[in-house]
Amino acid sequence: MARYRWYVDRDPFLNEFSRLQREMSRLWSQNFPEGQSAEVGLFPLVNIFEDQDNYFLTAEIPGLAEKDLDLSVVSDQVTIKGERKLEEKEDVNYHRRERSGGVFSRVVSFADRIDPEKVEASLKNGVLTLKLTKAEESKPKKIKVKID
């Protein structure tokens, strides 16, 4: 199973690279609309934003309850694992079959280390929200300059 690491940091070159990837993805899906795979091995898609002390991650995982989800944090990485089971129906006539199910495992890397004791996770209406507090030693420390 493919595992992709996404580095979320502020390196301008990497941001440019991922912008380019997004552009390519967009052009691709313009030619092949309607349910085209975004990038293989990247479920769930995530949004990440931050403030001074925390990272916030949101992901859409409809149909999953807490027990179906496996979250872990180590150092500067978060792993989101689970399985989305779809109802298996026999003897029915399908008109549309657009939803996809299966196992998933995704590692997201951050620029700062995360404090594993302080992670908050909530799953509501199929949306996973993580609040990841940056580890103390990762935060930049102000240095006082003595003026003699």
Partner 1 sequence: MKDKEIEARKKDETDVAAKAEGTREGIYYRPKVDIFETETELTLIADIPGVEQGDLDIDIADNTLTIVGNVKQKDDAHNYIMQEYGVGNFFRQFTLSEVIDQEKINANLSNGVLTLKLPKVEKAKPRKIEVK
Q: Could you say whether residue 67 binds partner 1 (CB under 8 A)?
A: no
What is the chain's length? 148
On the CB side of 137, CA atoms within 13 Å amount to 3
Parallel/antiparallel/unpaired status of strands 54-60 and 69-74: unpaired
CA angle 103, 47, 66 (to 5 degrees): 45
Looking at the Cβ atoms of 82 and 145, the one nearer to partner 1 is 82
Interface segment toward partner 1; rule CB under 8 A; list 71-79, 97-105, 114-122, 138-146: 97-105
Our measurement of the distance from residue 43's CA atom to the centroid of its chain's CA atoms, rounded to an integer in Å, reads 8
Nearer to partner 1, 97 or 146 (CB): 97
Alpha-carbon span 3 to 42, nearest angstrom? 8
Number of residues that bind partner 1 (CB under 8 A): 58
49 sits near partner 1 (criterion: CB under 8 A): yes
Residue of the chain from 11, 127, 136, 139 that contacts partner 1 (CB under 8 A):
127
For residue 18, the minimal CB distance to partner 1 (Å) is 8
44 lines the binding site for partner 1 (CB under 8 A): yes
Q: How far is CA 113 from the centre of its chain?
A: 16
Q: Distance of CA 99 to CAs 39, 63, 144, Å?
A: 16, 11, 56
Binding site for partner 1 (CB under 8 A): 1-2, 6, 8, 10, 18, 25, 29, 33-50, 55-56, 58, 60-65, 83-84, 86-87, 89, 91-104, 123, 125-127
